[in-house]
Chain A
Amino acid sequence: MVITVKNLVKRYDDLIALDHFNFEVKEGEIFGLLGPNGSGKTTAINCILSLLKYDKGTIEIYGKPMSPDAYDLKRNIGIIMQNVAVFEELNVYENIDYFCGMYITDKKLRRQLVEEAIDFVGLRDFRKFYPKKLSGGLLRRLNIACGIAHKPKLIILDEPTVAVDPQSRNNILEGIQRLNKEGATIVYTSHYMEEVEEICTRIAIMDKGRIIATGTNDELKGMINSGEKLTVEVLKLEHGILEGVRGLPNVVSAEFYDNLLIVKSTKGKNNLVALLDYLKTKNISVGKIYSEPPTLNDVFLEITGKELRDQL
């Protein structure tokens, strides 16, 4: 087990930021911690890294208790914090070299690692740039390079894509997957469910300091009742048809606007076939058809009763 967190409780005065928080991260996975703003993701990461005192619980990394002096553990960890942590007075190369130098003392090896990190995040053309001159996305990439140049076995990224343009975001997500392929275990926090769905091999959804569900993407979606969302293009819907659709088995809701019939149903086989059959018997001609599986938002919605999206 790479990380084991048991019964972690963290209070800020009256506020309980982490409430008996449990999770495990296994070797080689991309573990996603998904939760809305203020759910306690950063707090959890800072506790794991021994930056924050906590009130209760145990934290082990590679089977050993984590502490500020656990240098042999720290050597293997790379961290990309939510807030960009680079020095304004140092340029791209120097920033990476400075932080890398706290892990790697051999100068030759370090130079090579720094160059690799620069290429990895695609900042080759900007190596002499100072952070002030970098765009938001490039700055985030520098922030990442500073955390991974020493080739850590465990990489923790706290919302690395906040306020990043799509191009840099894709670059970052691809990079994370590449690091994982090269052998690193990844912990990734985000409130963007699409990102988590895209790259994470296992996901923990959290809300108000608690883990509410853990599993792979499919496992999580299997936990809930909602099934797919069907969208059918129809030119005209005669009176009574909508009521008929609502009466079909498994159907939860049906709406019609802008020539689109949108049907949500619970899990079940042949939902789409049943709908199309019904429309056919009513002689309604059908245009394009889409079927979307449930999203993590649906998972969050069903468990907490509120939209993950609303919180964004």
Chain B
Amino acid sequence: MFLHNYIYRLKCLIRDKETVFWTMIFPLVLATLFYMAFSNIANFEGFSPVKVGIVDNQELQENTNFLRALASVSGETAAADDRELFIISYVSRAEAEALLQSNKISGYIYIEEDINLVVKHTGINQSIIKGFLDDFKQTTSTVMTIVSRNPMVDQGLLINTIAERREYLKEQPIGMENPDPMVVYFYSLIAMACLYGGFWGMKEVTAIQANQSPQGARISLAPAHKMKLFLASMLAATTIQMGIISVLLLYMSFVLKISFGGRLSYIILICLVGTITGVTFGTFISSVVKRGEGLKIGILIGVTQILSFLAGMMYDKMKYIVNTKAPILGILNPINLIADSFYALYYYDSYNKFFTNIAYLCGFIIGFSIITYMVLRRQKYGSI
């Protein structure tokens, strides 16, 4: 009987095209759009150094710190270390202007009292140059303040140490695979997809509740234990959503080449916990909001979008803003917890963070399930 119900519920779910669209096609399309939108930025990560002109004058030669900084991001050593940012031509001011006009360089730098950047138009390459200069200025001013208090320190050495430390921070924790800041987006997208499992949970509650559908009334009249029916339904919902998440993961890792850090069993674990969170979230909404299919779906989509936003799906810095300004919001947000677990798997060797998140998610699952149970336990209704 359990198997009978499970199989038929699964059939009903798989053949529901509209819900399959929302839970599977929509996240796949979104992932593809993210990928296309980020491919420019991703390019900067890997290769194609920016061509820059530097006006070779007296002041440049005197600014050894700047020369050293330039050397660290250009030339053969930098290329060998895979951190080559610029291809530099040392030229005169007039030559630089000519190169810029003929688009041979993205911009040129000249030093006269201050360090100046000249560009023809703005774009990603120009931002990169500007970012580099801003970084340099900030570092040197830090250095200046340290030096002014402690004149014994060798400035050049200090700058390099700071620069290297930054390098160290950037490279080291990532460790195992290529660093990619875009993973925030993709991880929170997977988390959102997990919560979309709520569509199935919702559908299942509607299908077996006598006061929510005529089918539910028919099922309620059968000589079958309600909770057993419900468990078969939940299992069917979890099965299909796990299938969908697997498709999404395979698509992301094999087609979009997003990296997950490679600990497969843990990835499956977080997907499963995330999916169950999503499914129970749906049963919770469906049992609390009695009527109105549209209203329920609206609530599910609305809440999921807000939580995704807070978890950094639309704007990656959001995650840090939440984590620093209101960490409790991060804990109360299942999407953040799921995305963060992927993050933890990717960035940390220890599983502490990962399992803490899983524990919080289990809290959500238990909460949603208890409320659903309280509502479903009732078998007679005031009105249907």
Residue of chain B at shortest CB distance from A17: B383
Identify which of B4-12, B69-77, B237-245, B366-374 touches chain A.
Answer: B4-12
- Pair B380/A77 contact, Cβ less than 8 Å: no
A89 partner residues in chain B, CB cutoff 8 A? 11-16
Interface positions, chain A 70-86, Cβ under 8 Å from B, are 71-72, 74-75, 77, 79, 81, 83-86
- Pair A12/B383 contact, Cβ less than 8 Å: yes
Kindly state the separation between the CA atoms of A276 and B296 in the bound complex, as whole angstroms.
71
Contact with A along B221-233 (1 / 0, CB 8 A): 1111000000000
Identify which of A47-55, A133-141, A179-187, A287-295 touches chain B.
Answer: A47-55
Total chain B interface residues with beta-carbon distance under 8 A: 29
- Pair B220/A51 contact, Cβ less than 8 Å: yes
B80 at interface, CB cutoff 8 A: no
B210 partner residues in chain A, CB cutoff 8 A? 51
Kindly state the separation between the CA atoms of A87 and B381 in the bound complex, as whole angstroms.
22
Report B207 CB to chain A, min CB distance, Å: 8
B11 partner residues in chain A, CB cutoff 8 A? 89-90, 94
B328 at interface, CB cutoff 8 A: no
Identify which of B145-153, B185-193, B211-219, B254-262 touches chain A.
Answer: B211-219
A53 partner residues in chain B, CB cutoff 8 A? 380-382
Residue of chain A at shortest CB distance from B8: A98
Kindly state the separation between the CA atoms of A263 and B12 in the bound complex, as whole angstroms.
60
Kindly state the separation between the CA atoms of A105 and B1 in the bound complex, as whole angstroms.
6
- Pair B222/A85 contact, Cβ less than 8 Å: no
Knowing A12-B383, A51-B380, A85-B214, say if A71 contacts B223 (CB, 8 Å).
yes
Kindly state the separation between the CA atoms of A89 and B7 in the bound complex, as whole angstroms.
13
Kindly state the separation between the CA atoms of A97 and B13 in the bound complex, as whole angstroms.
17
Interface positions, chain A 50-64, Cβ under 8 Å from B, are 50-53
Interface positions, chain A 109-167, Cβ under 8 Å from B, are 146-147
Kindly state the separation between the CA atoms of A99 and B214 in the bound complex, as whole angstroms.
13
B94 partner residues in chain A, CB cutoff 8 A? none
- Pair A85/B218 contact, Cβ less than 8 Å: yes
A87 partner residues in chain B, CB cutoff 8 A? 12, 207, 215
Knowing A74-B223, A90-B11, say if A99 contacts B382 (CB, 8 Å).
no
Kindly state the separation between the CA atoms of A83 and B215 in the bound complex, as whole angstroms.
9
B379 at interface, CB cutoff 8 A: yes
Report B127 CB to chain A, min CB distance, Å: 51
B384 at interface, CB cutoff 8 A: yes
- Pair B223/A75 contact, Cβ less than 8 Å: yes
A175 partner residues in chain B, CB cutoff 8 A? none
Contact with A along B196-219 (1 / 0, CB 8 A): 000000000001001001110111
- Pair B223/A103 contact, Cβ less than 8 Å: yes
Report A192 CB to chain B, min CB distance, Å: 21
Report A158 CB to chain B, min CB distance, Å: 11
B221 partner residues in chain A, CB cutoff 8 A? 49, 51, 74, 77, 79
Contact with A along B1-32 (1 / 0, CB 8 A): 10011001001111110000000000000000
- Pair B217/A85 contact, Cβ less than 8 Å: yes
Kindly state the separation between the CA atoms of A94 and B11 in the bound complex, as whole angstroms.
10
Kindly state the separation between the CA atoms of A98 and B384 in the bound complex, as whole angstroms.
23
Residue of chain A at shortest CB distance from B213: A85
Kindly state the separation between the CA atoms of A50 and B381 in the bound complex, as whole angstroms.
9
Contact with A along B158-185 (1 / 0, CB 8 A): 0000000000000000000000000000
- Pair B8/A90 contact, Cβ less than 8 Å: yes
- Pair B220/A68 contact, Cβ less than 8 Å: yes
A217 at interface, CB cutoff 8 A: no
A215 at interface, CB cutoff 8 A: no
- Selected from A51, A85, A90, the residue in CB contact (under 8 A) with B381 is A51
A101 at interface, CB cutoff 8 A: yes
Give 26 A-B contacts (CB < 8 Å), ordered by A residue.
A46-B384, A50-B379, A51-B220, A51-B384, A52-B382, A52-B383, A53-B380, A68-B379, A68-B380, A71-B224, A72-B223, A74-B221, A87-B207, A89-B13, A89-B14, A89-B16, A90-B12, A94-B11, A98-B4, A98-B8, A99-B219, A101-B4, A102-B4, A102-B5, A103-B222, A103-B223
Q: Which 6 A-B pairs have the closest CB atoms?
A: A85-B214, A102-B222, A68-B379, A71-B223, A89-B15, A83-B214
Interfacial residues, chain B to chain A (CB-CB below 8 A): 1, 4-5, 8, 11-16, 207, 210, 213-215, 217-224, 379-384
